[in-house]
Amino acid sequence: MEKMDIDEGNNNNIDEDLYSRQLYALGHKSMKRIMESDVLIVGLRGLGVEIAKNIVLTGVRSVSLHDDNEVEIRDLGSQFYLSEDNIGQPRAESCIKQIKELNNHVNVKLHTGELTEDYLKEFTVVVVTEELFTEQQRINDICHRNNVSFISGNVEGVFGGLFCDFCDYVTEESNDEPLKTFMIAAITQEEKALVSVTEDQRFSLEDGSTVVLSGMKGMEELQDTPFKVHVTDHTGFKIDVDTREFQPYVKGGHVNEVRQPVKIQFKPLSECLKEQPEVAITDFAKMLTPPQIHLCYLTLDKYVNTHQQKPNSHSEEDEKTFIQLAGTINEELKIVDNIDEKVFKAFANTCRGYLQPIAAFLGGIIAQEAVVACSSKYTPIKQFLYFDCVEVLPENCENFQPQNSRYDDQIVIFGKEFQEQILNLNYFLVGSGAIGCEMLKNWAMMGVAAGDEGQIYVTDMDTIERSNLNRQFLFRPEDIESLKSEAASKSIAKMNPATKIIPYSHRVGKETENIFNDVFYESLHGVCNALDNVEARMYMDTQCITYRLPLLESGTLGTRGNTQVIVPDLTESYASTRDPPEKTIPMCTLHHFPNKIEHTIQWARDHFEGIFKNNCDNANAFITQSSFIKSLKGQSLVTKLEIVRSIHDLLVENKTDTFEACVKWARLQFETLFNHNIKQLLYNFPEDMVTSSGAPFWSAPKTAPKPINFDSSNELHIDFIIAAANLRAFIFGISQCRDSQKIAQITDTIEVPEFVAKKVFIPENDQQANQNNNNDNNNDDSDNDSKNYKKIRKAINKAKPSPEFKLNSVEFEKDDPNNFHIDFITACSNLRASNYTIELADKHKTKGIAGKIIPALVTTTSMVAGCVSIELLKVIQKKPVESYKNLWANLALPFITFTEPSAPEKTKVTDDWSWTLWDRFDINTPMTMNELIDYFEDEYQLELSMMSCGHSLMYACFNPKAEIMDLELSKAFEVVCKKTLSPDVNYIALTVMCASLETNEDVDVPWVRYKIPK
């Protein structure tokens, strides 16, 4: 065989714009390995095309497709790149054009004919789908002896499985956890040295972890040598080193976690099939099921080889034959103690069918395993993984004969009537980004909203960016800057022309309740979130509770994914459990005592916002708003002085029309930030300063900083000047300059003032800072500050330009590599890190932290969307709560587990009455306030003591508003709130407080939904 034909355009230069979110999950080193990998995919039904889509988007060097089988109409229910025009043509040939369009960096090729050893051994990874064990074994044997990673996968009805053989696999990154660093507080001199970390940290490494100590003063003998840790408690660990003769520990230093290579040996499939399978457990409620499914697949292999076909759906004779054959195989191999006939009946009755959501779920996992094999990053699955969703099967299945329809693979599982329900669903998809694209594709294949009465509504206010193309697979380069919802709808129309979608570009929230109103929500069967922010999720959660609609929720973070199914009356809501709030950096740590690169990056990001945006916004507001100075009246004198000084800097002191002046400004900024401010800090807190208890002030976690002397030949120094000067030039509309040599020469001519120490207050901690801020607010009579404020205010009023003059405020944009934003933050952060002897960060890491970039992988997205679509099939049937499954997964470990949703919490009113978040009082007949009070007393023996609507108090028993008591409630609402209800509002939500007539004690009760009479 000749050397593989590789696209010359695909070299080692990573397209960081395209792969930016993926790089934050995988890293550059792994990405380069991926770009040097060649993958073969055998089988292009639903599972194969999912894998191909995910691997091509990930960016391997080449993907070869092999499937000579002819397209059948039933393939259109899972293979989204086939159409009716392709029926009778080879599968791989029919879809290669669309797969190529996913990523022009990947060489996608077609292979026809035999899969010989000479051909197979050229690949990095071979993926085989929809083949029996017999053919899998043949290909795997070739791959194993040629050290080619092998993955197989199958979907049969409501079952699926995969097998991995990565030969002798080695990884240096077995998980996705960032390496941990701790500040050293003490090191003992003893036979086994005890290393303690600072009190503000918790030592969270496990026994046997490897660390390196660095940067200590004293105990230098321990520096830069790997040690295994023996954890004592959360404060530290011991190492097997006798330090009694070493120099005593003085101060400083870090404990740095280091990764060690992990070796994993795999067996070939031929060996694994002769013994108890090594199976990954994904559902602890079904721990005994995976071996049963393994036996099902062994039985299917033998059944098809004997009968040349799979068992017929719902054939009692075939079902009986299948179970008997399983018993014979199990007698020989002893796979399970007893055959679970429910599992085997479900397998035999559905294996002729094909569920596209399972293909999406397994397609994400298998593609990620291929990425693991290509990159040698993370821990692979060892060696089998089996999945089932038998809970989705209907209780009574009728009319399951194929209809010569694209949905036949579902009809043989669920029946014709259930397929009709799917076709006529009305669903609201909120978001059409990564998860949204996958969800729309799944729904189109399943037939959601492809009937006469069906409709999908999708909303997304975002437009398409180039970085989206790596995982939002419905979009192409020509769609950039188009609305996501509209572009996605057009792509879906090609996959299933019958799917009906109405796209919107509106944010969900109070401001769009005139669009997504009562009539809209009452027309829906349910809602599916595909969002990336908590605020919108919380809002949709509230809407679904209000309208008693099921909600399908999901999210991803790199290799991690989760799903949550929320069903009225049965489960808790999204808001029932919340993640803990994100930790914030103490202000004094940020401004004066940083000890991590995250601290310096946040400081640099804040500084960027202050000097390039906020200051410009204030200056522009001063120019255009005559009352701007008056608007500062409520601020402290210190704050007002800071604002007018920034305006004076831009409009008087340093206003310019030359780039040279911008360089001078940048050079003076450098001196202030990294030299003078540091000297001032050391003037306030000298290096030898001790606290009131006699301990050194500069002890962990504080590190005494060192001023930086500017050097025009230092690349980092000049990087700061270039970025700062160009951003300053942008503000004034001056042409920018990237000539580093020219800029360095200018800096050498600039005179810099000497440092002069000042008597200024610098807080030691946030408590002191807050106390000082309060003093600032209460002491606005400081003579010097007051005089300076008046003087500067007079100067800027005198120099105030005409309203037509405008400074260009800088809006932070992380994804433009040419705008100097990340360049400035990186240089600024690294210079401050140099001040404090903190390890520097490259531009990529800085961008991720400053831009709060969420790592994203198309593989995780595919897996999550598949799970959500499976739960949709259960929601439609109104299954009991034990049928539903929430997913928690981390494909880096790999960890995949399903759990039953939690029931909603109950609030007890009486022994006979309790309620949950799903309950409410429905008032569907017109009532006045007095009638409502009587209603509560008569029906529930409750005294209505208070009632509000939104922020308006409508009734209080201690002070009733006589003028509204006999008004119909919607009229009373309009009087109290002083606004007219829109005609498209059908209900008013009322919050009530009640007391028991029997005990006179306050009781918690649900809210009231009052129907407005029309």
Task: Give the model's confidence band at 768: pLDDT under 50 very low, under 70 low, under 90 confident, else very high.
Answer: confident
**Across 843-854, average pLDDT:** 96
Predicted confidence (pLDDT) at residue 7 exceeds the cutoff of 80: no
Q: Active site residue: 164, 397, 588, 949, which one?
A: 588
Residue pLDDT, tens place only, 249-268? 998 899 999 999 999 999 99
Q: What is the pLDDT of residue 3?
A: 31
**Across 745-754, average pLDDT:** 97
**Six-digit token string for 393:** 């099967």
**Across 36-51, average pLDDT:** 98
Report the distance separating Cα 256 and Cα 227, nearest Å. Answer: 10
588 is catalytic: yes
Q: Which residues, 6+ apart, have CB-to-CB distance to 150 below 8 Å?
A: 125, 126, 127, 128, 139, 140, 143, 144, 163, 164, 165, 166, 269
| C-beta of residue 563 within 8 angstroms of C-beta of residue 556 | no
Q: What is the pLDDT of residue 774?
A: 64
Report the distance separating Cα 793 and Cα 648, nearest Å. Answer: 8
Task: Give the model's confidence band at 782: pLDDT under 50 very low, under 70 low, under 90 confident, else very high.
Answer: low
Neighbours of 1001 (CB within 10 A): 7
Mapped onto helix, strand or coil, the DSSP state of residue 734 is coil
Q: What is the pLDDT of residue 604?
A: 98
Neighbours of 894 (CB within 10 A): 22
Task: Give the model's confidence band at 10: pLDDT under 50 very low, under 70 low, under 90 confident, else very high.
Answer: very low
Residue pLDDT, tens place only, 399-440? 899 999 999 999 999 999 999 999 999 999 999 999 999 999
| C-beta of residue 228 within 8 angstroms of C-beta of residue 209 | yes
Q: What is the pLDDT of residue 582?
A: 76
Report the distance separating Cα 489 and Cα 814, nearest Å. Answer: 28
Q: What is the pLDDT of residue 270?
A: 97
Give percent of the chain above pLDDT 90: 91
Report the distance separating Cα 632 and Cα 1014, nearest Å. Answer: 49
**Across 142-165, average pLDDT:** 98
Instruction: For tokens 């000097």, name the residue.
Output: 611
Residue pLDDT, tens place only, 328-382? 999 999 999 999 999 999 999 999 999 999 999 999 999 999 999 999 999 999 9
**Across 532-544, average pLDDT:** 96
Residue type at 955 in one-letter notation:
Y
Residue pLDDT, tens place only, 640-672? 999 999 999 999 999 999 999 999 999 999 999
Report the distance separating Cα 669 and Cα 807, nearest Å. Answer: 19
**Six-digit token string for 54:** 């995910």
Task: Give the model's confidence band at 315: pLDDT under 50 very low, under 70 low, under 90 confident, else very high.
Answer: very high
DSSP annotation of 198: -
Q: What is the pLDDT of residue 700?
A: 86
Residue type at 31 in one-letter notation:
M
For residues 90-123, b (16+ Cβ closer than 10 Å) or e, as one string? Answer: bbbbbbbebbbebbebbbbbbbeeebeeebbebb
CA of 703: how far to CAs of 185, 525, 699, 755, in Å? 12, 59, 6, 22
Residue type at 945 in one-letter notation:
S
**Six-digit token string for 557:** 């973070």
Among left, alpha and beta (phi > 0; psi -120 to 50; other), residue 528 is beta
Residue pLDDT, tens place only, 963-981? 999 999 999 999 999 989 9
The three-point CA angle 340-341-347 to 5° equals: 100
Of 320, 266, 331, the closest CA to residue 298 belongs to 331
**Across 481-490, average pLDDT:** 98
Task: Give the model's confidence band at 775: pLDDT under 50 very low, under 70 low, under 90 confident, else very high.
Answer: low
Report the distance separating Cα 141 and Cα 394, nearest Å. Answer: 40
Whether the link from the prior residue into 894 is cis, omega within 30° of 0, is yes
**Across 273-279, average pLDDT:** 94
Report the distance separating Cα 488 and Cα 527, nearest Å. Answer: 18
Number of residues that make up the chain: 1014
Angle formed by the axes of helices 843-850 and 597-609, to 10°? 70
Predicted confidence (pLDDT) at residue 581 exceeds the cutoff of 90: no
Q: What is the pLDDT of residue 11?
A: 40
Predicted confidence (pLDDT) at residue 779 exceeds the cutoff of 60: no
Task: Give the model's confidence band at 277: pLDDT under 50 very low, under 70 low, under 90 confident, else very high.
Answer: very high
Q: What is the pLDDT of residue 200?
A: 82
Task: Give the model's confidence band at 12: pLDDT under 50 very low, under 70 low, under 90 confident, else very high.
Answer: low
Q: What is the pLDDT of residue 39?
A: 98
- Tally of CA atoms within 13 A in the half-sphere of 203 that contains its CB: 27
How high is the mean pLDDT of the chain? 95
Q: Which residues are paired to 1007 by β-bridges? A: 920
**Across 781-793, average pLDDT:** 83
Q: What is the pLDDT of residue 776?
A: 54
